[in-house]
Each structure stands twice: as C-alpha cells, then as structure tokens.
C-alpha cells in the first residue's frame, strides 16, 4: 500500500481514547461525539423542563422533592458493620479522581487546637486553617465550649454536639452558640457540597484535597490521592453521593493519620510535614 494512501484516519485519535488493534469494534468513542449526544439529550430535557415550569408548576416542585428523597435513601451505607474501634479505608475511583474514604467505626469525634497525641486516636486530620503569619486560627472555632476564634468569611461549617456531627453551609449558624453553651465543637472551612450540590470556591490551584463528608447518615473523611482542584474534588464527592461536605486543611504540608483494623497507624500522606505552626487544629475520632 503506498504510504500516501495510509494517512491518517488512524491518527485521528484523542489522547483519552483507547482501541484494540485487530478488533475494530473494541474502541472508546471520541469524546466529541459523546458530548454531541449529551448536548442533544440535555437540550431535549431542558425543553421538557421549560414546558413543565410554564404549564404545570406545582407538579415540578413535587417531583423535585421526590427525586431528592429517592437519591438520599437509595444509597447503601459504606463499609463493614463491626463493634471494634478502628478506621476503615475504602478506595474508589470517581471519574478520574481517586478517592480514599476513611470511615471511623465506633469512635467519637472531637476538635483540638494543637497537634494531638494518644494511642486511642483512630483518625485525625487537620481541620480549620491557621494563619501563617501569626499562627492564629482563621475562622470561628469552638473547642469544648471555648470560643477560640470568630471569623465568618468561610461559609462551610462543622459542628459536633453530643458526639453528633453536623455539616452545613451558612453565613451565620446558631450551632456556633450551641457549641459554646453545650461544651461542643465548631469550626468553619470552605464549603464543597451543599445538599448534594457542588459549591464553587475561589482557589484554583491543585493539591491533595481532604474533606469531611456526610452521606446516607455516615460521616467520613475523603482524601484525593491525586492533586485536584477544588472544583474537580467537589464534583467527585457529589458523584460519590456525598450530601454535605466542607474542606479540611489539605495539601502536602498537612498531617493526619488513620488506624486500620490491624491497629497500625498510617499517615494520609507519608511525606507530609507536621507541627509547622504554633496552633494546628485537628478533628479526630477516638
């Protein structure tokens, strides 16, 4: 076959495409074709949606509520049932984001405003951000009922009241006062997921991301095994079924560890530095 005749249909391949030579049927369709189809389907769905809004508004509202409820209750709980105290690690791939999910079993969460120690800790991760210049905690922070900081610029919050974790998004949450009055815990961070919806944030850099998440009544920490943007990490959490999530201080300069069923303590990131600030805040389970 002359060389000129062999051009270059075969070179029309995307970098994300894969095909088996000798098996013409085994291939992944080019993304553009797939997206064209997706856009057509989205356009049809949007048109139907507009018609429903215009002609049948009550039905739309009712059906939305039903859909949300069905999603929430269809999710299977993660992990094993066990009466021992340990952290279970579950690895999952969501799109191209590899997530490690750390699910504490039979342990109670608390916050600390220093680097924690103790053999009873089975899961620990840095929580609120600390200023690099003066070592002070950036945002509202309550530890055992003591309010240590009061900032409110980050809208995501996590409250621990009577051992129960509540994650949410609000500019001003009464749970701060409840934490102070009841000897509980409270901190603020970037919101990532609010009632199953991705929340966009300003920082655009990529690094190892961490979050505290609620999903089907379970609370866990999710860590990206790869460097991700806020957006891609939050999107992966949404696709994983997370209902609410806020960021935990992450990056490769953050400590944190987990104790598996064999009793061995392992860091999230073996290369992480710890103790670099005067105050480090941690959420931990013991």
Partner 1 sequence: MGKFIVISKGTEMLRIPPERLVYISADGNYSDVHTLDGRPQMVSYQLGQLEDMISDQLGDEGSSFIRLGRGYIVNMEYVHLIDISQKRLVLSDCECFYQELEPSREVLVKLKAYLDATYSDD
Nearest in space to 125 (alpha carbons), one of 133, 138, 116, 135: 116
Cβ nearer to partner 1, comparing 64 with 96: 96
Q: What's the rounded Cα separation, in Å, for the pair 140 and 123?
A: 23
Which residue's entry shows tokens 């013409």? Answer: 24
Q: At closest approach, how far in Å is the CB of 12 from partner 1?
A: 8
Among 78, 225, 231, 251, binds partner 1 (CB under 8 A): 225
Q: What's the rounded Cα separation, in Å, for the pair 82 and 103?
A: 12
Among 43, 53, 80, 93, binds partner 1 (CB under 8 A): 93
How many residues at the interface with partner 1, by CB under 8 A? 27
From 7-15, 196-204, 246-254, 274-282, give the range in contact with partner 1 by CB under 8 A: 7-15
Question: What does DSSP assign to residue 263?
Answer: S
Nearest in space to 201 (alpha carbons), one of 139, 154, 248, 238: 154
Cβ nearer to partner 1, comparing 23 with 271: 23
Ranges within 97-116 binding partner 1 (CB under 8 A): 98
Tokens matching residue 95: 């799109």
In a 3-state reduction of DSSP, which class is residue 209?
strand
Q: 249 phi and psi, to 5 degrees?
A: -45, 125
Q: At closest approach, how far in Å is the CB of 28 from partner 1?
A: 5
**Residue 271 sits in the site that holds partner 1 (CB under 8 A):** no
Instruction: List residues binding partner 1 (CB under 8 A).
Output: 1, 3, 6-23, 26, 28, 93, 96, 98, 225-226
């Amino acid at each position: 076959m002359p060389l000129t005749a062999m051009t270059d249909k075969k070179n029309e391949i995307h970098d994300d495409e894969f095909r088996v030579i000798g098996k013409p049927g085994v291939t992944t369709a080019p993304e553009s074709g797939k997206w064209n189809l997706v856009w057509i389907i989205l356009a049809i769905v949007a048109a139907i949606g507009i018609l429903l809004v215009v002609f049948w508004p009550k039905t739309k509202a009712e059906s939305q509520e039903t859909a949300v409820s069905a999603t929430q209750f269809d999710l299977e709980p993660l992990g094993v049932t066990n009466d021992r105290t340990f952290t279970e690690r579950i690895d999952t791939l969501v799109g191209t984001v590899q997530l490690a999910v750390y699910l504490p079993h039979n342990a109670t969460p608390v916050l600390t405003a220093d680097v924690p120690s103790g053999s009873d800790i089975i899961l620990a991760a840095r929580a609120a951000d600390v200023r690099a210049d003066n070592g002070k905690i950036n945002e509202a922070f309550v530890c055992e009922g003591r309010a240590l900081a009061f900032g409110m610029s980050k809208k995501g919050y996590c409250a621990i009241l009577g051992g129960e974790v509540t994650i949410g998004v609000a500019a001003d949450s009464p749970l701060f006062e409840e934490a102070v009055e009841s000897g509980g815990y409270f901190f603020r961070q970037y919101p990532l997921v609010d009632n199953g919806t991705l929340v966009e944030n300003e920082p655009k850099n990529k690094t190892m991301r961490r979050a505290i998440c609620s999903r089907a009544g379970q609370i866990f920490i999710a860590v990206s095994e790869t460097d991700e943007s806020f957006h891609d990490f939050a999107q992966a959490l949404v696709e994983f079924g997370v209902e609410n999530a806020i960021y935990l201080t992450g990056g490769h300069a953050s400590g944190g560890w987990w104790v598996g069923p064999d009793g061995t303590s392992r860091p999230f990131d073996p290369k992480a530095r710890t103790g670099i600030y005067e105050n480090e805040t941690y959420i931990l389970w013991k």
